[in-house]
Amino acid sequence: MTCCNEKELVQDKLCCDFRLTDDTATTIFTADPFAMCAGFFASGMIKNCGSVDFVATFVRGVTAAGTGGVTVRTLTIPAGGCATFTVSNFDAINITAVTATVDTPAVGEFCITPRYRVG
C-alpha cells in the first residue's frame, strides 16, 4: 500500500537551434493548452553557442497573440554558457538578446522534455 495515487505521465523531447539578430523577444517554445490543464512541468537545457549574452524567460498567461503573461522564471545565459531548468506552470519560453545584430547574432541550442499527467 502506498500513500499516493499513481500518476501516468506523458513525456516527449524536443531539441532545436535558434538565431536572433535583434533585441526582439523570440518565442522558442509554446506549451499545449491541454497539457497546462493536466499539471504541466518540463526540464531541459539552453546553451549559448555564440558570443552574445541572452535571457530566457518562462512566462505563464500568454495570449493567443503571444503577448502578455507573468514571468515564472528568468535565466541569464552568458556567451559560451549553458543553463539547465525544471519549471512548472508556464505557457512559453522567450529568448531576448539585447545586443544581438545581423553581424553578431545570438545563437543557441534548446532541448526540453515536457511532462504532464494523464487522467
- Phi, psi for 108 (deg, rounded to 5): -150, 175
Q: Which domain does 26 fall in, by range?
A: 17-118
Q: Is the pLDDT of residue 38 over 50?
A: yes
Q: Judge whether 2 lies within some domain.
A: no
Cell numbers 515564472 correspond to 72
Count of domains in the chain? Answer: 1
Q: Judge whether 78 lies within some domain.
A: yes
Q: Judge whether 59 lies within some domain.
A: yes
pTM: 0.85
Q: What is the pLDDT of residues 72-101, one digit of tens each?
A: 999 999 999 999 999 998 989 999 999 999
Q: Judge whether 9 lies within some domain.
A: no
CATH number for the domain that contains residue 57: 2.60.120
In the 8-state DSSP scheme, what is residue 66?
Answer: S
